């Protein structure tokens, strides 16, 4: 039976970290988020809120100046020390609040002295993420904010500092009030589920995640998330913090007779991956999983180590005062939770949850938790058409197709097959995981093409990683800068020799010409021979401009002028990397390419093929930290204990070592991931090549050795290759 509106309302009140009913109704009535059902009237009061959020009435407010642009003014404050160290070993949390959008970011610290280093990371991340520059920082006069190096740094970059008068925390009211709201929400969520205060860090992180998806009086009918990112957030994935949950254990990590799920506690949303953060009650470790079943009506009894049921404790409403109002008062610490006896009832079945989703392992498309941004990529045109951001992306794609004169509308041929098309959606991310842009790509259903009829040759070369590394090494040695161009809809520029017809795309069918089809003059993504058509086009153009193609690398081109210098260009499909000794040649190349094709000038090369590229005056450093973190989490080793070497010196591997067989698929995935990581990690090259010898019928010993290499990577996650400037270019072989 479906839950009533009243029952559903209280579920969502708890899922939103005990958000006040007025704000919860506003979210639903104004449709500020996706996935929130009808919210009923607040005719009851939650006892957890009454206890966890009690505070004195505020004094009157004065109207103050507000920033009109993101990052024009950022408020910051430190909260702590907490009485209990968090699971991550921290005693403080640090918040940054954008004055214009009220978007909040939280960081955790062991010591206050970490504030300056965290601020530098925050500034770099948020400026890249938003496209705006941070102009003013408001904080109190704590020593962590007024150190000589902090003040000097701000002065050098032109950042205005606004410090409060001594003993006047009201002047930093936005940050103080935000911290109090976070603390109150965290206390209330932990109290409801009787969680130990070692979980305060997870609760604070979750509270910030939720609050960014809530309305505020400072904004006009928009969430803080949407005000900052321009996208309406989804909330269908929200669950009650601290709930008992059952996390799927992959086949590779258990025997056939072992339990398929582990009993856990839900403690938040994935930071850099799509999934739920869960605390495993057996291993006492936190992992991220996408396959989780929730029991939101139960809690864990830490004394008896058993599941206990819980009812939402409420009483008749006897006051008109809101449980959470906007007051300028701060809460400094989290006090011990009061002991509350909950009513004992039977464990509520998941089928009684207000969610309409059947009880099953959740699919990845239902879990939209990534960093501080909830990224939802549509599955089809019907979903995308409901979102303005994706509509604009599709319109931009169609505009590019028309501009390139890719096709012409004709009558449907009777003697030629017509191939279908579909929309594919992808969120393009920056190096730090923030959103760069929304991409909608119209692709041909190439699997319907027949060789010899619809296409002939398909091969198209791409740059090898060895070539890219050599180019980076040369640029570093010579002191050159590396630049990057991105060709917009590159495949649309390839001229077709074959006769190909496609259907009109969804959402863009020409009125009164519904029966007509498009005849392709140039390639579309999805065509089997589209990559080759694009390569032939770009190769012919570069050669016509005087560039000489390398005899050993088909995507490497060089141009030399006696009076100007040298320019080197490398092409990887639609990504172009170029460097040289002459600014004149560099500018000339960029101008020529942008005149010929629709291009995006990405400036200095900073991210390529999953590698971070950091260029300084003295060197160029490359690594694959983000990629390494991703596959460490995939194999459940993100929180593992690191080791100092990839292999044990005395251990030898052989084909028949007497141990049991290991999961071949899992082993191959690990070795494959390691092979790609060797692009910037030569220190694991020997270990990886050794493991690669046993791809067929690996044993438990081989698997254990592979896991050791992953543990080594976890402890050396920041390692990479540094190419230094000015050293003599001598080829050395080993």
Cα–Cα distances (Å) from 719 to 471, 505, 677, 712, 734, in that order, read: 20, 46, 11, 11, 21
Confidence of residue 373 (pLDDT cuts 50, 70, 90): very low
CB atoms closer than 10 angstroms to residue 482: 23
Give start-end residues of each CATH 3.30.420.10 domain in the chain: 74-258+314-338
Between 105 and 730, the higher pLDDT residue: 105
Percent of the chain scored above 90 by pLDDT? Answer: 37
Flag whether pLDDT at 475 surpasses 60: yes
Give 723's strand partners: 620
Q: Looking at the predicted structure, is the pLDDT value of residue 318 above 70?
A: no
Secondary structure (DSSP) of 168-223: -GGGGHHHHHHHHHHHHHHHHHHHHTT--GGGHHHHHHHHHHHHTTS--TTSSS--
What is residue 560's three-state secondary structure? strand
At residue 455 the predicted structure's pLDDT band, cuts being 50, 70 and 90, is: low
* CB contact at 8 A, 300 and 281: yes
pLDDT of 343 > 50? The answer is no
The total of other beta-carbon atoms located within 10 Å of residue 193's CB is 25
- Mean pLDDT for 76-92 is 90
Q: Identify the band that residue 337 occupies on the pLDDT scale cut at 50, 70 and 90.
A: very low
Length of the chain: 734
What contacts 9, CB < 8 A, 6 or more positions away?
Answer: 21, 24, 39, 40, 42
Task: Tell me the pLDDT tens digit for each residue of 209-218.
Answer: 999 999 888 8
- Return the sign of the alpha-carbon dihedral for residues 693, 697, 700, 701: negative
Q: Which residue has the higher pLDDT, 501 or 345?
A: 501
Quote the mean pLDDT of the chain. 81
pLDDT at 429: 67
Residue 408's pLDDT band (cuts 50, 70, 90): very high
pLDDT, tens digit, for every residue of 428-453?
Answer: 766 555 567 888 989 888 766 666 55
pLDDT interval class at 500 (50, 70, 90):
confident
Query: What H or E segment, with its residue span, contains residue 443?
Result: strand 435-444
> Which residues have C-beta within 8 Å of that of residue 522, sequence separation ≥ 6?
404, 405, 406, 407, 492, 493, 494, 495, 496, 533
pLDDT digits (tens, 9 = 90+) for 113-169: 999 999 999 999 999 888 889 999 999 988 899 999 999 999 999 999 998 877 666
pLDDT at 56 (0 to 100): 53
209 vs 219, higher pLDDT = 209
pLDDT tens readout for residues 580-629 = 998 889 999 999 999 999 888 888 998 888 899 999 888 999 999 999 99
pTM of the predicted model, to two decimals? Answer: 0.47
Tell me, what's the pLDDT at 353? 39
Question: How open is the CA angle 173-176-177, to the nearest 5 degrees?
Answer: 80
Least confident of 15-19, 82-86, 573-577: 15-19
To the question of domain 74-258+314-338 being in CATH 3.30.420.10, the answer is yes
365 falls in which pLDDT band (50, 70, 90)? very low
Q: Is the pLDDT of residue 559 over 50?
A: yes
Tell me which residue of 326, 541, 523, 539 sits closest to 444, measured CA to CA.
Answer: 523
Quote the pLDDT of residue 135: 93
Beta carbons within 8 Å of 671's beta carbon, 6+ residues apart: 688, 691, 692, 695, 706
């Amino acid at each position: 039976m479906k839950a009533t509106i009243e029952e559903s309302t209280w579920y969502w009140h708890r899922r939103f970290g005990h958000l006040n009913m007025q704000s919860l109704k506003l979210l639903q009535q104004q449709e500020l988020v996706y996935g929130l059902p009808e919210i009923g009237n607040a005719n009851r009061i939650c006892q957890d809120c009454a206890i966890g959020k009690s505070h004195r009435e505020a004094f009157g407010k004065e109207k103050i100046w507000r920033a009109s642009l993101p990052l024009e003014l950022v408020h910051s404050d430190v909260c702590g020390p907490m009485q209990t160290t968090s699971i991550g070993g921290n005693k403080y949390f640090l918040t940054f609040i954008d004055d214009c959008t009220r978007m909040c970011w939280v960081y955790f610290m062991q010591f206050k002295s970490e504030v300056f280093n965290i601020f530098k990371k925050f500034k770099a991340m948020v400026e890249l993420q938003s496209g705006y520059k941070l102009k003013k920082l408001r904080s109190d006069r704590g020593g962590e904010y007024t150190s000589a190096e902090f003040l000097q740094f701000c002065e050098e970059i032109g950042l205005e500092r606004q410090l409060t008068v001594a003993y006047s925390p009201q002047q930093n009211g936005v940050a103080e009030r935000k911290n109090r709201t976070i603390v109150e929400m965290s206390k209330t969520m932990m109290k409801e589920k009787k969680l130990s205060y070692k979980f305060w860090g997870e609760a604070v992180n979750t509270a910030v995640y939720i609050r960014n998806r809530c309305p505020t009086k400072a904004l006009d009918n928009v969430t803080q998330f949407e005000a900052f990112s321009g996208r309406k957030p989804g909330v269908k994935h929200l669950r009650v913090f601290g709930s008992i949950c059952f996390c799927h254990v992959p086949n590779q990590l258990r025997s056939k007779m072992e339990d398929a799920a582990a009993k856990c506690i839900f403690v938040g949303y994935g930071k850099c991956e799509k999934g739920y953060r869960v605390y495993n009650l057996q291993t006492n470790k936190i992992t991220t999983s996408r396959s989780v079943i929730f029991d939101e009506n139960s809690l864990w009894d830490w004394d008896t180590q058993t599941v206990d049921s819980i009812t939402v404790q409420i009483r008749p409403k006897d006051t008109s005062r809101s449980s959470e109002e906007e007051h300028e008062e701060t809460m400094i610490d989290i006090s011990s939770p009061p002991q509350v006896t909950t009513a004992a009832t039977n464990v509520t079945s998941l089928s009684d949850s207000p969610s309409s989703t059947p009880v099953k392992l959740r699919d990845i498309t239902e879990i939209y938790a990534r960093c501080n941004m909830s990224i939802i990529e549509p599955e089809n045109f019907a979903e995308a058409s409901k979102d303005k951001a994706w509509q604009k992306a599709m319109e931009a794609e169609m505009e590019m197709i028309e501009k390139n004169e890719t096709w012409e509308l004709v009558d449907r041929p009777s003697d030629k097959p017509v191939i279908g098309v579909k929309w594919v959606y992808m969120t393009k991310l920056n190096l730090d995981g923030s959103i760069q842009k929304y991409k909608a790509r119209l692709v041909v259903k190439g699997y319907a093409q027949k060789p010899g009829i619809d296409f002939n040759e398909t091969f198209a070369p791409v740059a090898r990683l060895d070539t890219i590394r050599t180019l980076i090494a040369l640029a570093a040695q010579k002191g050159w800068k590396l630049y990057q161009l991105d060709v917009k809809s590159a495949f649309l520029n390839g001229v077709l020799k074959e006769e190909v017809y496609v259907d009109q795309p969804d959402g863009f069918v020409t009125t009164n010409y519904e029966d007509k089809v498009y005849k392709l003059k140039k390639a579309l993504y999805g065509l089997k021979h589209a990559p080759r058509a694009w390569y032939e086009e770009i190769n012919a153009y570069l050669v016509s401009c005087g560039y000489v193609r390398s005899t050993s690398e088909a995507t490497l081109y060089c141009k030399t002028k006696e009076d100007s210098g040298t320019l080197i260009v490398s092409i990887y499909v639609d990504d172009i990397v170029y460097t040289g000794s002459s600014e004149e040649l560099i500018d000339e190349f960029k101008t020529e390419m942008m005149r010929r094709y629709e291009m995006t000038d990405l400036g200095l090369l900073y991210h390529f093929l999953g590698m971070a590229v950091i260029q300084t005056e003295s060197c160029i450093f490359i690594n694959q930290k983000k990629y390494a973190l991703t596959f460490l989490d995939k194999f459940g080793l993100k929180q593992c204990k690191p080791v100092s070497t990839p292999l044990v010196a005395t251990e030898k591997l052989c084909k028949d070592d007497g141990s049991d067989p290991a999961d071949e698929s899992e082993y191959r995935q690990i070795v494959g991931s390691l092979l790609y990581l060797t692009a910037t990690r030569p220190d694991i090259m020997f270990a990886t090549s050794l493991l690669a010898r046993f791809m067929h019928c690996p044993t438990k010993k081989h698997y254990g050795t592979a896991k050791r290499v992953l543990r080594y990577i976890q402890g050396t996650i920041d390692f990479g290759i540094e190419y230094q400037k000015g050293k003599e270019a001598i080829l050395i072989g080993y």
